[in-house]
Amino acid sequence: MLIVDVVVVNVALPTIRADLAIPDGRLHLVSVGYTLTFGGLLIVFGRIGDLYGWRRLFLIGVGAFTLASLATGLARAEWQLLAARAAQGVGAAMVSPTALALLTTAFAEGDRRNRALGLWGAVGSGGAVAGQLLGGVVTDLFDWRWIFLINVPIGAATLALARRHLPESRAADRPVLDVPGAVVLTVALAATTLALTRYAEGGHAVQATWLLGAAPAAFAVLVVVERRHRAPLLDRRVLRIGGVARANALLAIDAGALGASLFFTTLYMQVVLGYSPLAVGAAFAPITVLILLISPRAGALTTRYGPRRLIAIGFALLAAGMLVLARVPADGTYLRDVLPGMLLLAAGSGLSYAPIFVAGTGGVPDRDQGLASGLLNSAQELGTAVGVTVLGAIATAATPAGGVAALTTGYRAGLLAAAAATLLGLILVAGIPRPAADAAGPAGR
């Protein structure tokens, strides 16, 4: 539900603009309002969950997200819609890291946790693709408001089930909340996310440059603040554990390259092939199904072969899918030119997400699982923003003057760049630690 709401709104923006009379210059805020608060608060709320209890914050977050979704669907004015979308992001930032912390602390490291993270990967990667499907179908068949109102019964059911079945979970050795660090980090992440979003939209270069210049300054202040706090929010000790740092970098690359590839593919189907939002949504259906079939198995495969092998295979499949899509012609067809590459993307995404989360949470003490989860979720959100912005700029620069054929040239360049970034990510995979049994060789099994 949280991941779907990042992308589901995209195909509905023209309808929302017409219904609420939102000027083009502010239409982007419908998307940014959610991603800004969501991405900027993930690490902070992950740490707050460590301090006050993951179940408690999870319930508060689901309630906030559900009420904000209701307010978004019932909005009758621009300001109401934008405020409700920002509130959705706050609720989502509470839920996402605490949900992952609840999951990882419910299972000891090993097969059961890996299987659970396989299901988590199915939800995350499947949700990113399903948003395209849901947005097109609901907007065409019903009304844009239902892409938000559908969250209300789901949220209510989640609250009821969570209250009944989730035990309270909180690390016994609770850290002290680093309030100054939380404030500075939120400002730094928000400035970075907003700057990248404004660059991606085009026409806001000056504003985006100022924001992107402010972000490093905020991060520099954060370093000073963290050095003076006895329990820093961004504890470097956590990043030094096992494969945590590399897993975060790999997730950012995975999310960025995949997000940009789906973005280019959606534009290709809509602009070049002339598909309607409903047709684009239907085109993503096979991809969603394949991800949901593969991802749950990825956890068990990670137990058997280790995260390093699965991530490497997943990245190779992702790069292959991007290279296949980079061959799309101006007179292409869905079955011949689009579907094969998208199926490879689905297989690569389904295989890579779970082992990345296994590597990113493995070896982390329970008291720091909220922070580790917040880091991973932030890497995913910022990775997507960076990927769409940078690869989108490459595609724009490579687009010659002309009609549909020129646009296709730009999409191909963006997809080739995405494939190159994914292949470079394989360098980081080599540093992911092997499981103890795997490292010991056959005699140690």
Rounded to an integer, what distance in angstroms lies between the CA atom of residue 38 and that of residue 112? 29
pLDDT at 180: 84
Q: Give the least confident one: 27-31, 120-124, 318-322.
A: 27-31
What are the domain boundaries of the chain?
4-165+233-433, 178-232
Q: Write the pLDDT tens digit of every residue in 363-416.
A: 888 888 888 998 998 888 888 878 887 888 888 888 887 777 788 999 999 999
Cβ proximity of 265 and 286 under 8 Å: no
pLDDT at 35: 80
Residue 185 tokens read as: 């980090």
At a CB cut-off of 8 Å and minimum separation 6, what does 131 contact?
Answer: 3, 4, 5, 6, 7, 8, 10
Looking at domain 4-165+233-433, its CATH class is mainly alpha
Rounded to an integer, what distance in angstroms lies between the CA atom of residue 66 and that of residue 71? 9
| Averaged pLDDT for residues 324-353 | 92
Rounded to an integer, what distance in angstroms lies between the CA atom of residue 141 and that of residue 84? 24
Rounded to an integer, what distance in angstroms lies between the CA atom of residue 384 and that of residue 258? 8
- Say which amino acid occupies 82: L
Rounded to an integer, what distance in angstroms lies between the CA atom of residue 414 and that of residue 265? 10
Rounded to an integer, what distance in angstroms lies between the CA atom of residue 347 and that of residue 325? 14
Percent of the chain residues topping a pLDDT of 90: 32
| Averaged pLDDT for residues 141-155 | 88
Q: Write the pLDDT tens digit of every residue in 86-136.
A: 999 999 999 999 999 999 888 888 889 999 998 888 887 667 666 766 776
Global model pTM greater than 0.95: no
Task: Classify residue 133 as exposed, middle or buried by CB count within 10 Å of its CB (0-12, 13-18, 19+).
Answer: buried
Cβ proximity of 280 and 11 under 8 Å: yes
Q: Write the pLDDT tens digit of every residue in 297-314.
A: 888 899 888 899 999 999
Identify the helix (H) or strand (E) that includes residue 226.
helix 205-228
